[in-house]
Amino acid sequence: MMTLEKFEEASELVKKVTNPTKLVFSEYLSTQTGAKVYLKPENMQHTGAYKIRGAYYKISTLTEEERNRGLITASAGNHAQGVAFAAREFGCKATIVMPTVTPLIKVNRTKSYGAEVVLHGDVYDDAYQYACKLAEENGYTFVHPFNDLDVATGQGSIAMEIVQELPTVDYILVPIGGGGLITGVSTLAKMLNPKIKVIGVEPAGAASMTAALKAGEVVELDSANTIADGTAVKEVGDQNLPYVQENVDDILLVEDDELIGAFLDMVENHKMIVENSGLLSVAALKQLDCKGKKVVCVLSGGNMDVITMSSIVQHGLIQRDRIFSVSVLLPDKPGELARVAETIANVQGNIIKLEHNQFVSTNRNAAVELRITMEAFGTDHKKKILEALDENGFRPKTISAKLY
- Does the pLDDT of residue 359 top 70, yes or no? no
Q: Are residues 131 and 172 in the same domain?
A: no
Band the pLDDT of 75: cuts 50, 70, 90: confident
* Domain region containing 90: 53-142
- The CATH number linked to 69 is 3.40.50.1100
> Measured between alpha carbons, how far apart are the two ends of the chain, in Å?
54
Q: Are residues 79 and 94 in the same domain?
A: yes
Are residues 24 and 137 both part of a single domain? no
361 pLDDT band (50/70/90 cuts)?
low
d(CA 116, CA 108): 11
Q: Which helix (H) or strand (E) holds 67?
A: helix 64-68
51 flagged as catalytic: yes
User: How much is the average pLDDT of 378-389?
Assistant: 95
Active site annotation includes 300 = yes
Q: What is the pLDDT of residue 40?
A: 98
How many domains does one find in the chain?
A: 3
Asked if 38 contacts 21 with a C-beta cutoff of 8 angstroms, the reply is no
Whole-model pTM: value is 0.88
* Domain CATH for 388: 3.30.70.260
Please provide the average confidence, as pLDDT, over all residues in the chain: 93
Residue type, 398: T
331: CB partners within 8 A, 6+ apart: 365, 366, 367, 368
What are the DSSP calls for 344-398, one per residue? HHHTT-EEEEEEEETTSSS-TTT-EEEEEEEE-SSHHHHHHHHHHHHHTT---EE
Same domain, 42 and 63: no
Q: How far apart are CA 52 and CA 57, in angstroms?
A: 8
Question: What integer pLDDT is reported at residue 403 of this predicted model?
Answer: 66
Nearest CA-CA partner of 276 in 262, 265, 286, 296: 262
| Per-residue model confidence as pLDDT tens digits over 276-301 | 999 999 999 999 999 999 999 999 99
- pLDDT for residue 357 is more than 80: no
**Residue 229, amino acid:** D
Q: Write down the catalytic residue from 26, 300, 325, 382.
A: 300
Catalytic residue among 51, 106, 190, 234, which?
51
Sorted by sequence, the CB contacts under 8 Å of residue 369 that are 6+ apart come out as 327, 328, 329, 330, 355, 356, 357, 360
Do the domain assignments include residue 404? no
